[in-house]
Structure 1
Amino acid sequence: MTDVLIDPAPTEKRATGRSGWFRAVWRWHFFASFLVAPVLILLAVTGLIYLFRFQLEPLMHGDLMRTDPPSQGALTQPYEVQYAAVQEAYPDASVLSMTEPKNAEETTRFSLVTADGASRDAYVDPYTGEVLGDLNPDTTLSGYAVRLHGDLMAGPWGDHVLELGACWAVVMALTGYYLFVRGWTARRRARRSGRGPAKLRSRHALVGAVSGVGLLTLLVTGLPWTGFWGEKVQSYATEHGSSLWSLDPGAVSDPTSKLDESLPHSHAVDIPWALQESDVPSSDTTQAGRSGSVANVDTAVEVADGEGLRHPFTIALPSTDDAGGVFSVIGYAFDAPSDEKTVHIDRYGGQVVATYGFDDYPTLAKVVSQGIGLHEGRSFGLWSFWGAALMCLAILFASVTGPLMWWKRRPKGAARLGAPRGRMPLKATPLLVVALVALGLFLPLFGLSLLVVLALDQLVLRRIPALAGWFDAA
């Protein structure tokens, strides 16, 4: 399978020529695509579901997420009244956050954790204050899509499988561009000849050339989330006074709902090195119990509105067990990561305790934040949204037409796979060796998997004639 990496014998002149190079790169592309196509199909489908979650979920859960205003300009119940209704309906649960409706037809969402640790989203009619019901955000269509997209719902091992697939997808995209450029003339001749598979190959190449840019962008912007590469880079960044993430010191501003992940990535227990000396936002407990000194959700909304945050807000609510907890109001920054900002408000006096926004992020976190917005199709409004959707569709097309082309040209009845034959002369091209080593160091899982594949090739495939024939070893 991998003898493309082994130098040919001196008599095999084809491998050093144009045809040999083309077939060797084609072989890389072939096997990388076979390994990567299932991963890309899964990521593209779940990515599309995630992109359209705000359209799909209200259709599927309209009884909870939608409401009919009683009249034009009808007044809504105070948020504190809605909050009290949720507390009454779920007396044993801890209410973590509240998200405002985006428009007059949407309900108010409260994220909570039940006594047994389960996550639930409760929905309240903002006009009547009635609790309409709840659902588990992890078991909605969007919830399943997010979990499959993140780690195949298999924990760290699933995360590693996706990261490995992403690494080899980089190889697939780069080799695809080589084939696109070097095979341009051959494809045009084949189209003119009217051969059946020529049109499919030409369309695959054209769509692949367009989607390759988006694919590489999505892969690079998705790497910070990975459990191996992302964790190692975050550890390195933290040790050197930076961070991949916009961590807000001490603020519990990480709502559990999976329906809207456009919020700043903030965690109460994970403070970046650069902010370890920052004071944790807390309320002035000396004001507790004083007459007229207790703020509420509506106070927090009013204060955050005065601070210039964009609606709709998400408000992380102070725990009833933490007297020093604050209201953490997170401004809407779905279409503009640079607008990300959180205001922490004293739960007693209602004054601003601290603010933390995009301007306070480490430089690396600013880059990652913009990359996340691009990855999720929300950085540039509808242009970004539809661009991401089209890229997902293009990746699906390329991932399906690639195996289909192989199926059409496979040797029927033969005891071999029908893979392109070719071996790259690495001894004659040291720059290629340097590039592979650099890519292996930058993407450690790719480097490790490449070593494993090379070992299998040398110790197994090349020593067993049946396997060598099946994998079309040159």
Structure 2
Amino acid sequence: MVRPFLSRSIWRQIHLWFGLGLAFLMVPIGLTGVILVFAPEVDRWAFPSRYAVTGAVAGQPAGVYLGSAAAAASGARVMGLRWPRMEGAPVTALLRGGAFPEQARLAYLDPPTGRVLDIADLRGGLIGLAHALHANLMLPPSFGRQIVGWAGAALLTMVLTGLWLWRRPSVGFLRLLRWRRGPALSSNLHHMMGFWIAAPLGAMALTGVTLGFPLATRATIGLFAEVAPRAPRPASGGSMRQPSQDPQRVVDLAMQTGEGLKPVSLTPPTLQGKFWRVTAATRTGATQTVLVDDASGAVTVQAIAAGDGLLALLRRIHEGRSHGPVWSLIVVVCGFAPTLFFATGLLMWLRRCQPKTQALLSAQKGARRAASDLSSLEPRG
């Protein structure tokens, strides 16, 4: 006799109602995730003017890019600068304030000349909408991100319960791998696809949970690995209007901390932090963070804590662009999986309900016939 906790019927109901009840969350989250895997390519296709660069070499000092971006968005503050990581991509600058105080905008600059190619709302366009829907369901981030995190936990539960339902103790493992588990295409596709995609889909769900609850994730990882304190947000305390250090000198100081370093990003000092933050890429593709004091020019290389490395790995796994084309393809399949499982699972549920519905209709029809027969036997006055 199967213990109640391990009863297949209990897990089937959990699996069923999580799938049917939360499909309206999981399907759009999955499909927008597919779009975000190809975000640079989609953005280049949708807005070619942003990528109409005249060359691949970022030949201007950092101050030129910062000044061009600030001049193009009158009154806005430049909160960060990023050098292109791919050939043919522009330099980008994050802007806040000015004529659009509630919007974060991105300035696209030509690397060789520093000319502004375009300024766009981060939440606008296909990529902006996809990111807003995927990250927080287009709700305020304070609780929208948590809803997405709980959706990831529900998806992980469905993966685990699905694996439990997939196995049958009385059937050999190799027989379970056969395509024909039932007479219908939908059930065969549901079972076969569910098994082979379970591990990567579970990984995507788990990493989604960690991104949905970043503070809890940092606290949990901090229990067994060192995690550096969170860096203040770019807007924290307001940015310094006239920093003491020249931006390019800051970048040069940071590049002198190692061999073969290339600048990735530059964050100007704030009134609270009063230091520049430079992210540099090493020859191996890893990144390191360098802090430069705005007053003295003192340089500090931040050590990469083990916990921070794990946090970065979780994000890279979820984003699906940093581990080669094979993993990107797997992530794309995971993005389509909730739609496939919802459609096939719904068909399986409807087929399961069909005999019960027919039996109920037959019983109602028989009851009406019996009532009609009884009424015909009643004496007529």
- Shorter-chain TM-score bucket reads 0.7 to 0.9
The sequence identity of aligned pairs, in percent, is 21
Is 1:356 the counterpart of 2:302? The answer is yes
Aligned residues: 348
Structure 1: gaps (5+ residues): 1-12, 257-267, 270-282, 418-474
Is 1:191 the counterpart of 2:180? The answer is yes
Distance 1:90 1:25, change over 3 A: closer
Contact persistence 1:58–1:66 (CA under 8 A): no
What is the CA deviation profile of residues 385-438 of structure 1, one whole-angstrom value per residue up to 9, with x for unaligned ones?
Answer: 333223223344223322233234442893999xxxxxxxxxxxxxxxxxxxxx
Contact persistence 2:167–2:176 (CA under 8 A): no
For 2:290, the equivalent position in structure 1 comes to 343
The equivalent position to 1:302 in structure 2, one of 233, 236, 252, is 252
Question: 2 CA distance for matches of 1:393 and 1:364?
Answer: 31
For 2:354, the equivalent position in structure 1 comes to 411
Contact persistence 2:153–2:209 (CA under 8 A): no
Distance 1:356 1:97, change over 3 A: same
Amino acid at match of 2:348: M
What is the CA deviation profile of residues 444-463 of structure 1, one whole-angstrom value per residue up to 9, with x for unaligned ones?
Answer: xxxxxxxxxxxxxxxxxxxx
For 1:114, the equivalent position in structure 2 comes to 97
Question: 2 CA distance for matches of 1:106 and 1:345?
Answer: 27
Question: 1 CA distance for matches of 2:12 and 2:344?
Answer: 15
Q: Per the alignment, in what secondary structure is the counterpart of residue 414 of structure 1?
A: helix
For 1:331, the equivalent position in structure 2 comes to 280
For 1:46, the equivalent position in structure 2 comes to 32
1:238-317 equivalence runs, <5 A: 246-248=228-230, 252=232, 254=233, 295-308=245-258, 310-317=261-268
Question: 2 CA distance for matches of 1:41 and 1:324?
Answer: 41
The equivalent position to 1:392 in structure 2, one of 326, 332, 335, is 335
**TM-score normalised over the length of structure 1:** 0.62
The equivalent position to 1:126 in structure 2, one of 108, 111, 121, is 111
1:376-455 equivalence runs, <5 A: 376-411=319-354, 414=357
Q: Pairwise CA RMSD of aligned residues?
A: 3.8
* C-alpha deviation, 1:343, in angstroms: 0.7
Judging by fraction of residues, say which structure has more strand: 2
Contact persistence 1:96–1:113 (CA under 8 A): yes
Q: Per the alignment, in what secondary structure is the counterpart of residue 123 of structure 2?
A: helix
Distance 1:382 1:190, change over 3 A: closer
For 2:63, the equivalent position in structure 1 comes to 80
What is the CA deviation profile of residues 118-171 of structure 1, one whole-angstrom value per residue up to 9, with x for unaligned ones?
Answer: 211112223333222301112232222222222212234434433333333233
* C-alpha deviation, 1:231, in angstroms: 4.1
Question: 1 CA distance for matches of 2:272 and 2:178?
Answer: 76
Distance 1:126 1:367, change over 3 A: closer
Question: 2 CA distance for matches of 1:326 and 1:189?
Answer: 61
**TM-score normalised over the length of structure 2:** 0.76
Question: 2 CA distance for matches of 1:226 and 1:75?
Answer: 35
Question: 1 CA distance for matches of 2:251 and 2:40?
Answer: 23
Which one has more relative contact order, counting CA pairs under 8 Å at least 6 apart? 1
Distance 1:190 1:211, change over 3 A: closer
Question: 1 CA distance for matches of 2:143 and 2:275?
Answer: 37
What is the CA deviation profile of residues 191-214 of structure 1, one whole-angstrom value per residue up to 9, with x for unaligned ones?
Answer: 398x3x1x3212211111122212
Amino acid at match of 1:341: Q
Amino acid at match of 2:34: L
1:142-157 equivalence runs, <5 A: 142-155=127-140, 156-157=142-143
Is 1:218 the counterpart of 2:208? The answer is no
Question: 2 CA distance for matches of 1:167 and 1:75?
Answer: 43
For 2:378, the equivalent position in structure 1 comes to none
